[in-house]
Amino acid sequence: MPTSLLGDLFGRSPFQPMQRHMELVRSCVAHVVPLFAAVAAGDGATVAAERAQIDDLEHQADMIKNALRAHLPKGFFLPVARRDLLEILDFQDNIADTAQDLAELVAERRMVLPAPMAEPMLALVKSGQQACDAAAAVIAELDELLEMGFRGREASRVETMVDKLADQEEESDRLEMEVNRILFALEGELDPVTVIFWYRMIELAGDLADYSKKVGSRLRLFLAT
């Protein structure tokens, strides 16, 4: 990678590419809600278009992820370990990968969303998006935290943000259980393969919030050390 591009990637701190990566992840997840709205409406063209957007954004995020993994200098003086930053990066990457997996499943299998599941399934993916937004907001605070040495009022504010992120993940868990109960009641009306794939998609939709929470939980450890 050219030196100028490395400089552009890292800017003032190694947190900048982490933040740029998370913003792309956030944009990727933002397309999951309209994706499932299109599935509910039986709009195959919009499903394909949303999938293409998700694929493109996930690819852009992967480019930053790979560059960061390969070139994050070991000489940066930071109050956190390099491996810890890369662990957060992996969680961020998992969020985008999950969005892409959802898009691939619904598009390739041309899934039809049963009417009784439509509203709660949309609520679940919206909750996952809200959790991702909350995780992105936490990551956006990394530079401020660095300036304050991961202490003080800014650290307390971020801890509150992480608590709210955890609450959002709990709401996603509740919604995931609700959709699972509805699908269980519908099993006799659907073919077994469709049932299996819907259970998988419900799990993936819940993973959006789970991985988002892990981003916040890992950052909380920075504040505790």
In the chain, the domains with their CATH numbers are 3-224 (1.20.58.220)
Q: Is the dihedral of CA 180, 185, 186, 188 positive or negative?
A: positive
Residue 196 in this model has a pLDDT that exceeds 60: yes
- State the chain's mean pLDDT as an integer: 89
Residue 1 in this model has a pLDDT that exceeds 50: no
Of 92, 96, 107, give the one whose Cα is nearest residue 50.
107
- C-alpha 132/C-alpha 165 separation (Å) is 9
Position 77 scores a pLDDT of 56
Q: Quickly count: other Cβ atoms within 10 Å of residue 105's Cβ.
A: 16
Residue 26 in this model has a pLDDT that exceeds 60: yes
Position 74 scores a pLDDT of 61
- C-alpha 57/C-alpha 14 separation (Å) is 21
Position 22 scores a pLDDT of 97
Token pair for 113: 């969303």
